[in-house]
Amino acid sequence: MIIDCHGHYTTAPKGLQVWRDEQLAALKTPGRLAEKGSVHISDDEIRESVEKAQLKLQRERGTDVTVFSPRASAMGHHLGDATTSRHWTEHCNDLIHRVCELYPENFVGVCQLPQTPSDPLAGCIAELERCVNGLGFIGCNLNPDPSGGYWGAPPLTDQYWYPFYEKMVELDVPAMVHVSASCNPNFHTTGAHYINADTTAFMQLLTADLFKDIPGLRLIIPHGGGAVPYHWGRYRGLAQDLKRPPLDELIHGHVFFDTCVYHMAGIELLLKIIPVDNILFGSEMVGAVRGIDPQTGQYFDDTKRYVDASALSAADKQKIFEGNARRVYPRINDRLKPQTA
Amino acid sequence: MIIDCHGHYTTAPKGLQVWRDEQLAALKTPGRLAEKGSVHISDDEIRESVEKAQLKLQRERGTDVTVFSPRASAMGHHLGDATTSRHWTEHCNDLIHRVCELYPENFVGVCQLPQTPSDPLAGCIAELERCVNGLGFIGCNLNPDPSGGYWGAPPLTDQYWYPFYEKMVELDVPAMVHVSASCNPNFHTTGAHYINADTTAFMQLLTADLFKDIPGLRLIIPHGGGAVPYHWGRYRGLAQDLKRPPLDELIHGHVFFDTCVYHMAGIELLLKIIPVDNILFGSEMVGAVRGIDPQTGQYFDDTKRYVDASALSAADKQKIFEGNARRVYPRINDRLKPQTA
């Protein structure tokens, strides 16, 4: 079985954006109360939106199930207030739930959180509980920068976040550290802000004792860990200079990188440098890069091809494709058939 | 000849920091006028500061000349105002000039700029002219984020910066895009902010027509280009999706990455992915990582060893070690013996 740990609902039917546009327009109307209202999307629209995209690509590429969450760039935590974020988040998560109910063998849910810049954890515990206990979700996407590129929240290692981490551990779910769109003109969303956030989060983890304080915490750093594997020597050297634990020890059981790296040389570096137990198969499809690589004739984000073509043993590939995901997201085991290998 | 394009005076005698501490203390004294004053450092102190560090490492590692600039993390453009930054910058650059005069065969100067958050180009043209025409410097370090981690300046591709770029072209000098210390608790200076700035700058360049507007502009992106070579497929794909020119075309003659990547696998990726004409040898010594890698028994930042050990041809190595630097920093040719190879 091949589990893709990183998929967003980037193809959601237009009813979702209609609702969001109206919500944001209402914010500009003085005196108008925020109302949750309803998102109008039919099951057929949902079917059409994934049949032509994620499901088609799953079939073509030979992957089985996608750990599926709302479109990351649209989380927009910097827009409006805590109520804005809560209403939008609940609708987005409910829509993911509908996809997972329609296609229980193909999608397992991961939730967006109702974060805001003024209170980066506002309502997050309640929404996590609702999604995990109520909707059968298996993880969440945690935004370390709800300001959208101005980085005003405390570092992820600050005790500010601990109550949320404790709830994650209690529910036995991991978080993918994932920012949303950048509203800072310096940062292109998918070309800079996403990658920078990954690098930033890793360095925060390197310099603090978060996993000593919360031993059950598991975090996924997406996009192949940002710059981290490429600069592994720098990070090993910094850890040593700063008298921090060796990196393999830091990440063991706690930090996982996905395979969203869109060329063979990058994947080879990732697989060579990062312990195999810390790598999860992911493709970010349909996501940041949608074209075909003229050098290969294949989709840039068809990352399964790169892992397939690597020199890893079959056992190691099985870990990356399935085994590790079952460890990192243990609740996935209730949703899927038992492990085959 | 081996030219290291990336060295900072991180070992400056303590008189420099004494002056800086006093300057910053004076900022807190109401009514006190900013005075430039003098930095008290003897030639012997300078000799001692480099003999035991940069010169010793040059000899041990077999490099010849370092393109030398003030300590990047200490530029501190976010502190004080334009006068603060101007006085500090002039002292830092004058000290680099003294090093270069004492060791003309070992060091060639690159200047810090007197940037400030409120006016990221304040006084930069004047200081660049003073350093290039007056002190024989061959380039500058341009900070894309004088706020120190809050990213309030316009992107590097904004016309705001163009007058400075035009002066660079007139003087035939390149800029290394290099931030200073982060005062944002989210970003570790050398482990996140530096690398993020590199990635950010590249993506800005990818999305704009800066080099069409200013064809003579040359920029060095340090630290091996941040995350860019590792994610080269992502950037190729983004360029294609955004209908931008192919990356090799974008960077040709304009964008250069140094070799400040502190492990063999990272250097191999860099050399495999980036055209050899766009790579400059650099070590960042004495810099971000100062220890010895227990896996190799050698300094992490002894990047010459990695390039030496790579599969590149002798001709390609010569480009990286010398030829490219002579093209990118043409004024270096007035300071050094003619090219040997």
Residue-wise pLDDT tens digits, A38-66 = 999 999 999 999 999 999 999 999 999 99
In the block, which residue shows the tokens 């049949």? A51
Q: Determine the pLDDT at residue A339.
A: 76
For residues A315 and A277, what is the distance between their CA atoms, to the nearest angstrom?
11
Put simply, the answer to whether B233 touches A269 (Cβ < 8 Å) is no
Q: Which chain B residues are closer than 8 Å to A161 by Cβ?
A: none
Which of A183, A195, A244, A260 to mutate: most B Cβ within 10 Å?
A195
Does residue A29 surpass a pLDDT of 60?
yes
The per-residue pLDDT for range A60-96, each reduced to its tens digit, is: 999 999 999 999 999 999 999 999 999 999 999 999 9
A and B: number of Cβ contacts within 8 A: 197
For residues A39 and A16, what is the distance between their CA atoms, to the nearest angstrom?
6
Put simply, the answer to whether B227 touches A195 (Cβ < 8 Å) is yes
Segment A111-116 mean pLDDT: 98
For residues B140 and B131, what is the distance between their CA atoms, to the nearest angstrom?
9
Q: Which chain B residues are closer than 8 Å to A154 by Cβ?
A: 185
Q: Determine the pLDDT at residue B122.
A: 85
In the block, which residue shows the tokens 């360049």? B205
Average pLDDT score over chain A = 97
Put simply, the answer to whether A196 touches B191 (Cβ < 8 Å) is no
Task: Indicate the residue of A265, A273, A290 with minimum beta-carbon distance to B273.
Answer: A265
Put simply, the answer to whether B224 touches A230 (Cβ < 8 Å) is yes
Does residue A127 surpass a pLDDT of 90?
yes
Does residue A229 surpass a pLDDT of 80?
yes
What positions of B carry a catalytic annotation? 284
Q: Alpha-carbon torsion A197, A203, A206, A212, what sign?
A: negative
Q: Which chain A residues are closer than 8 Å to B289 by Cβ?
A: 233-234, 237-238, 241
Q: Which chain A residues are closer than 8 Å to B151 by Cβ?
A: 149-151, 184, 186-187
Is the Cβ–Cβ distance between B197 and B211 less than 8 Å? no
Nearest CA in chain B to A195: B227
Task: Indicate the residue of B187, B192, B200 with minimum beta-carbon distance to A192.
Answer: B200
Q: Determine the pLDDT at residue A341.
A: 53
Shortest alpha-carbon distance between residue B334 and chain A (Å): 34
Does residue A167 surpass a pLDDT of 90?
yes
Put simply, the answer to whether B240 touches A288 (Cβ < 8 Å) is no
Put simply, the answer to whether B237 touches A300 (Cβ < 8 Å) is yes
Average pLDDT score over chain B = 97
Does residue A122 surpass a pLDDT of 90?
no
Q: Determine the pLDDT at residue B33.
A: 81
Shortest alpha-carbon distance between residue A200 and chain B (Å): 5
Q: Which chain A residues are closer than 8 Å to B288 by Cβ?
A: 234, 237-238
Q: Which chain A residues are closer than 8 Å to B273 by Cβ?
A: 263, 265
Put simply, the answer to whether B230 touches A269 (Cβ < 8 Å) is yes
Which of A151, A158, A177, A231 to mutate: most B Cβ within 10 Å?
A231
The H-or-E segment that residue A9 falls in is strand A3-9
Put simply, the answer to whether A233 touches B263 (Cβ < 8 Å) is yes
Token duo for residue B28: 């807190």
A340 confidence band (pLDDT: 50, 70, 90): low
Q: Determine the pLDDT at residue B160.
A: 97
Task: Indicate the residue of B184, B195, B261 with minimum beta-carbon distance to A233.
Answer: B261
Q: In Å, what is the CA distance from A303 to each residue of A4, A229, A300, A320, B57? A: 10, 17, 7, 12, 42
Name the burial class of residue A29, with classes exposed (0-12), middle (13-18) and buried (19+) by CB atoms within 10 angstroms of its CB.
exposed
Q: Determine the pLDDT at residue A138.
A: 98
Shortest alpha-carbon distance between residue B292 and chain A (Å): 8
Q: Which of A51, A138, A129 is nearest to A90 (CA)?
A: A129
A32 confidence band (pLDDT: 50, 70, 90): confident
Written as one string, the DSSP assignment of A212-278 is: HHSTT--EEE-GGGTTTTTTHHHHHHHHHHTTPPPHHHHHTTTEEEE----SHHHHHHHHHHS-GGG
Mention every residue, 6+ apart, whose C-beta is less than 8 A from residue B134.
none
Shortest alpha-carbon distance between residue B62 and chain A (Å): 21
Q: Which chain A residues are closer than 8 Å to B192 by Cβ?
A: 196, 199-200, 203-204
Does residue A338 surpass a pLDDT of 90?
no
Put simply, the answer to whether B190 touches A238 (Cβ < 8 Å) is yes
Indicate whether this model's pTM tops 0.80.
yes
Nearest CA in chain B to A154: B186
Q: Determine the pLDDT at residue A30.
A: 85
At residue B47, φ and ψ (nearest 5 deg) are: -55, -45
**Three-class secondary structure of residue A171 per DSSP:** helix
Put simply, the answer to whether B195 touches A301 (Cβ < 8 Å) is no
The per-residue pLDDT for range B24-35, each reduced to its tens digit, is: 999 998 888 889
Q: Which chain B residues are closer than 8 Å to A232 by Cβ?
A: 263, 265-266
Q: Which chain B residues are closer than 8 Å to A266 by Cβ?
A: 230-233, 269
The per-residue pLDDT for range B77-100, each reduced to its tens digit, is: 999 999 999 999 999 999 999 999
What positions of A carry a catalytic annotation? 284
Put simply, the answer to whether B291 touches A154 (Cβ < 8 Å) is no
Shortest alpha-carbon distance between residue B227 and chain A (Å): 4
- Positions in chain B whose pLDDT score sits under 50: none
Put simply, the answer to whether B269 touches A272 (Cβ < 8 Å) is no
Chain-centre distance of CA B20, in angstroms?
21
Task: Indicate the residue of A184, A240, A294 with minimum beta-carbon distance to B151.
Answer: A184
Shortest alpha-carbon distance between residue B271 and chain A (Å): 11
Put simply, the answer to whether B195 touches A155 (Cβ < 8 Å) is no
